[in-house]
């Protein structure tokens, strides 16, 4: 079980966050980027799973700049409400907030990032725009295609669903061409396949993607 606390970005903005600690000496630190549904139970569970794997994990509340403490589930009504906030996204501001979370876990060792949906794009941007990131994992980041010409400064791993109705496979192929150094995997699943609270959850794909994630982190987050 983790704890809620407050981070402060370089522009003095204060935001909420969730932090989970491993039971033993940490292997490193992980910053977890939320979906548009906030630092909800799913994202907190990801932090807890990373802590169980030996990492200090922090999930910053990236929507706190325009709606405090936002948290949502996955009913059609909740999804529609969460999507209303898409127009408020400021990628540069999110990078400042993400950097504050990275600084918070840096004492644990090398820092990696992981994100889902919107957060998948945030995780990718952390690899291209932030310093001191050792590895980046991106699950079904729908906007990565917009930034695919940016050069990553660390190893990147991406996971996409072949049946994703938000991310066409043509986008994934373009990303492959523009990011030849990235590990890119696809799965016979739809959008959000890793989240076990969504109807699109695909257990075999989620299990394989998580195994690949932990292997990738182990290889790249070395003290």
191 tagged catalytic: yes
* Host H or E run for residue 48: helix 41-52
Maximal CA-CA distance, the chain: 45
Q: Which of 117, 138, 154, 195 is catalytic?
A: 117
164 tagged catalytic: yes
138 tagged catalytic: no
Q: Which residue has the tokens 């940016």?
A: 150
Q: Which of 164, 171, 195, 202 is catalytic?
A: 164
Q: Which of 47, 103, 154, 191 is catalytic?
A: 191
Instruction: Of 206, 209, 217, give the one whose Cα is nearest residue 50.
Output: 217
Alpha carbon distance 7, 139 (integer Å): 24
Alpha carbon distance 41, 32 (integer Å): 13
Q: Could you give the residue numbers annotated as active site?
A: 117, 164, 191
């Amino acid at each position: 079980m983790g704890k809620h606390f407050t981070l402060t970005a370089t522009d003095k903005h204060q935001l909420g966050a969730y932090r989970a600690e491993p039971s033993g000496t940490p292997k490193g630190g992980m910053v977890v980027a939320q979906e548009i549904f906030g630092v909800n139970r799913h994202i907190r569970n990801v932090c807890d799973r990373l802590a169980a794997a030996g990492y200090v994990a922090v999930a910053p509340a990236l929507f706190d700049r325009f709606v405090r403490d936002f948290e949502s589930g996955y009913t059609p009504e909740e999804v529609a409400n969460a999507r209303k906030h898409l127009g408020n996204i400021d990628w540069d501001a999110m990078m400042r907030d993400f950097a504050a979370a990275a600084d918070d876990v840096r004492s644990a060792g090398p820092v990696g990032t992981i994100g889902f949906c919107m957060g998948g794009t945030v995780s990718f941007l952390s690899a291209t725009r932030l310093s001191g990131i050792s590895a980046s994992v991106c699950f079904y980041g729908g906007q990565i295609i917009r930034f695919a010409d940016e050069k990553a400064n660390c190893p990147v791993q991406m996971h996409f669903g072949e049946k994703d109705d938000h991310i066409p496979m043509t986008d994934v192929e373009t990303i492959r061409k523009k990011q030849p150094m990235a590990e890119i995997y696809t799965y016979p699943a739809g959008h959000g396949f890793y989240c076990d609270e969504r109807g699109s959850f695909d257990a075999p794909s989620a299990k394989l993607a998580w195994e690949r994630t932990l292997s990738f982190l182990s290889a790249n987050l070395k003290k």
